[in-house]
Amino acid sequence: MKNTLRQRVPYFLLLPLVWLVGLAAANAAVTVKDEAIDGKPAFRLENYRVSLLILPAQGGAVVSYKDKLGGNVELIPPGAHNGLCMDHFQCQPWPGELLDTPYDGKILKSADGECVVQVSCEVKGDFRGSQYPKLKGLRLEKSYTLRDGSPALETRVKLTAPVKNSTLVDYWLQNVFFAGGKFDFDCDTSFRPTVRGVRVKTDRKTGFTGPEDFLRDFNDGWLALLDTKTKSGLVVLTDYNDLRFLYVCGSSRTLEPMFEMAYLPAGASREYTVYIVPVAGLDNIVAATPDYIAGYRMESDNKGAGKVEFNVVRSMRLVTNLALNVTIGTADKPSPGVSAGTLAFDKIGDEPQARSATFTGAGPDPLILQVVAKATGTGEAVTNRFEDYFNGAYQWGENIQTDMASPRYKGVRPPQQLRLNKPKEIRIPRPWEMQMWYAEGLLDDYYGVTQALRLTMRNNGKTKWTRAFVSSSIFGTKLSSFPYDYEELFSYDYIVLGGLRQDALGGLVLEMLTDFVNAGGGLVVLGGPMAYAKSDLAGTKFADLWPVKILPGDYDLLDLQGAPIEVADASVPFLMDLDWKPRPTVRYLHNVELKPGAKVVLTAGGKPFLVTGEAGPHKARIICILGAAMGTLPAGQTPFWEWSDWRYLMRQVFWWTQRYYDFDRFGVR
């Protein structure tokens, strides 16, 4: 189970066990005191484990932090832009407007075993003269809570849109500090969980994949930075579902959760919860949850036998028992693997507890460590899973193949549960004004979208066109931009969707595209090497709206060897005034299944080439172009994308899709 902190059990419910009470009593009570730095008010929070100072005047950040068990040294170096829990937005260049903004600050609570300090400000949406209207008026309230029995600093950041305007928030929490109190090129080490195992980086040792500052393939909601010499540092815990990147600057200098873009309708709020947990006694981290933090050491003989030892310390909550069920498999066949048994820990505290186990028959290196952890505290037992890639004697010394790019092992990334603030009405406002959003994928430039678009442009100052680009690498497929703001998304009349894979969209974009069509927005889907079957969109809510059904599997291209396009339904208005004499032909065509209500307008080789349909409550028009603009045709044949009238067909497709009123005017719908 991934960290889902916002669903956590309220802390005060977790205390009743006798030994916990005893332990809490043994730890000095939490306190909050007013202090001043250069005459500016500050608040000191302190308990048995940590002492920290919050300075509202410096972006409401934590500007001093000491872990009494971790050497009691200052972790935050001097400087205005160093500190913990510093607020930033991804759309603004660093340092952004908030790091130097004076916040208001006050003590909200100092009772019942917890102290709460709140800092707040209003975002201006103005940084060094650049305007960010979608941030303007946003209210940021950040509350720090320290409790008397817990080492964790709870930070809740609440962002509220102005009453009259929506906002678009791409929040980013920065923690800039030196593990162990000073920067060490070799020992300051970051740990981040990914489907390729925990990525471990120091300034000098970044491995074949480089620093990987922006990690996208994370599979849990934590990141850690330790000084491996002093075995001390911090873990940052947050909600896996909210995250966009696990960012670490320069391999080992910061811990920065970057959150998914969030659209906030007028007056709506969103809250992010982050725990800063000190760690002492561990020199690596393989798992971190609100219940425990674990490091491990493993060795193998490259023949399947070996030993694994876990060291565990407490996290935000106290747990009475922790059971780690350990399985070892190979990178080629991680499951079912061989069992190394269950390691039982009890009364996990601030000092590390160690347990070890041996295993045999696991197979040759590299190995995959898989653990099911069951933590029992005062409430219901919490189960979570984690895994890591163990390199052992595998040739390259890390999780990489000999192409120096592809990982040797890649696990499955759990889906992220979305939190989406949708507008009250899912409806694209009229009148429509030739406004198009276009995602250009591989080879989509051959469809001549640009020429067709220019043939639709009107000189009325309202035409709008935006292009986003698709890219693909070993880390997956990406989209360069997206109108995450529903108001902006709904300002487009239609979308041209080029070839892209589902992972470029992510759950958030997929949901918003579905909303777009349901709001009545037009959609043109292009073919190509990354489209339809390759897009991995089959079975999604979005693709369910299309008039064609993507066939199962990754391969749906037919080789027609040069079949001419035939008109199957001459009644549609967008086929007017086209010169078919050059006989445009198709080499490759996506093979699909027609859905009820689909209208085949053009065919090639007896298969649908262009299909129209309507979807959603507002009957959004959708056109699927199934011919792929690629391949070499026999001599003398005209590839459809080189056909002189292809651009006119595309222009009219765009007009029809977005219900251009001229079509209506002449009654040729």
Partner 1 sequence: MRTELKRNLCLAMAVFGLTAGGAQAETATVWSTDFSSEKVRDLNPSAKIVAAPAPATGKLLMLSNGGGRTPAWCAAKELRLAGPVTVAVRLRGKGFAGVGPVLNFNGYFRVGKNYWGVEIPGTVYGTQLDETKAMTISFNILLAPQPESYSFDISGQWALKETNSAQTIWIERIEIMANGPAASFISRVEPDKTSYRLGQTAKVAVAVVNPTATPFKGSLTLTELFDLEEKTDAATGAVELAPGEAKEFNFSWKAKLPEAGRELRVTLLDAGKKVLDTYTDFYGIAKDPSYLNTMAGGVIAPVWNNRYNCSYVGPASYAQTLGFIQFNKAMRLQRFEYFSWSYNELAQFMPPKDEEPYLGNEGIWWQSFKKFKNQVRMLKEIGVTPISYVNGGLWGPEAYKLYQKHPEWFLAVGSFDMEWRAKYERRNEFEFMQNKTPFFYCYFNPVLPEARRYVADQLIGIAKEMGFEGARWDVWNMSVSPGQKDMFGKEVAKTAEEADRLTAESLAAVKALVAKEVPEFTWGYNYGGPEEVEKTPLIIAEKCRGGGWILDEITCTYQEKTSPFHYWDAYRDRIVGWGDHIRQLGGIYNPFPFRRGGALYTIDHLYEGIFRLIGGARSYMPGEFNAGAAGKQGLMAFRYSDVFFGWSLRLQPATQTLVKVTAPDTLWWKSMVLLGTGANGRPRAIVHLVNSPPVNEVEENPQSLVRPPVKDVVVNCGPQNGKKLPVKAWVISAEPATPDAEPAVTATVLPLTRHGNTAQVTVPWVLYWKTVVFEY
Element housing 585 (H / E): strand 584-590
Taking CB under 8 A as the criterion, the residue among 349, 361, 379, 397 binding partner 1 is 397
Taking CB under 8 A as the criterion, the residue among 3, 273, 289, 391 binding partner 1 is 391
Least distance between partner 1 and beta carbon 332 (Å)? 11
By beta-carbon proximity to partner 1, the closer residue of 554 and 579 is 554
Our finding on whether 418 is near partner 1 (CB under 8 A) is: no
Pull the structure tokens for residue 345: 């820990």
Q: For 361, list phi and psi in degrees, rounded to 5.
A: 75, 20
Pull the structure tokens for residue 14: 């977790």
Stretch that binds partner 1, among 114-122, 161-169, 217-225, 551-559 (CB under 8 A): 551-559
Taking CB under 8 A as the criterion, the residue among 78, 128, 336, 402 binding partner 1 is 402
At 67 the three-state DSSP class reads strand
Least distance between partner 1 and beta carbon 87 (Å)? 29
Taking CB under 8 A as the criterion, the residue among 245, 588, 643, 646 binding partner 1 is 588
Taking CB under 8 A as the criterion, the residue among 72, 383, 395, 571 binding partner 1 is 395
Site for partner 1 in 612-631 (CB under 8 A): 628-631
Our finding on whether 650 is near partner 1 (CB under 8 A) is: no
Our finding on whether 554 is near partner 1 (CB under 8 A) is: yes
Least distance between partner 1 and beta carbon 480 (Å)? 5
Our finding on whether 214 is near partner 1 (CB under 8 A) is: no
Pull the structure tokens for residue 377: 């505290």
Least distance between partner 1 and beta carbon 401 (Å)? 9
Q: Is 337 within 8 Å of 327 (Cβ atoms)?
A: yes
Least distance between partner 1 and beta carbon 311 (Å)? 20
Least distance between partner 1 and beta carbon 157 (Å)? 31
211-223 as b/e: b if 16+ CB within 10 A: bbbebbbbbbbbb
By beta-carbon proximity to partner 1, the closer residue of 555 and 661 is 555
Distance CA 154, CA 232 (A): 19
List the one residue out of 262, 238, 326, 210 whose CA is nearest residue 8.
Answer: 238
Taking CB under 8 A as the criterion, the residue among 282, 348, 512, 557 binding partner 1 is 557
Our finding on whether 443 is near partner 1 (CB under 8 A) is: yes
Q: Is 140 within 8 Å of 51 (Cβ atoms)?
A: no
Our finding on whether 19 is near partner 1 (CB under 8 A) is: no
List the one residue out of 397, 399, 392, 197 whose CA is nearest residue 303.
Answer: 392
Pull the structure tokens for residue 647: 């651009």
Write the DSSP string, 377-431.
Answer: -SSS-EEEEEEEEE-TT-TTSSS--TTSSS-S---PPPPPPP-----S-----SS
Our finding on whether 555 is near partner 1 (CB under 8 A) is: yes
Our finding on whether 389 is near partner 1 (CB under 8 A) is: no
Sequence-ordered list of residues with C-beta below 8 angstroms from that of 635, at least 6 positions apart, any chain: none
Q: Is 279 within 8 Å of 190 (Cβ atoms)?
A: no
Stretch that binds partner 1, among 139-147, 353-361, 451-459, 549-557 (CB under 8 A): 549-557
Site for partner 1 in 467-486 (CB under 8 A): 467, 469-474, 480
Our finding on whether 632 is near partner 1 (CB under 8 A) is: yes
| Secondary structure, 3-state, 231-281 | CEEEEEEECHHHEEEEECHHHCCEEEEEECCEEECCCCEEEEEEEEEEEEC
How many residues lie near partner 1 (CB under 8 A)? 36
Sequence-ordered list of residues with C-beta below 8 angstroms from that of 425, at least 6 positions apart, any chain: none
- x/- contact string, 522-541, with partner 1 (CB under 8 A)? -------x------------
Our finding on whether 332 is near partner 1 (CB under 8 A) is: no
Distance CA 200, CA 303 (A): 25
Our finding on whether 441 is near partner 1 (CB under 8 A) is: yes
Our finding on whether 369 is near partner 1 (CB under 8 A) is: no
Torsion angle (degrees, nearest 10) of CA 312, 314, 316, 319: 100
Binding site for partner 1 (CB under 8 A): 391, 393, 395-397, 402-405, 440-446, 467, 469-474, 480, 529, 553-555, 557, 559, 588, 628-632
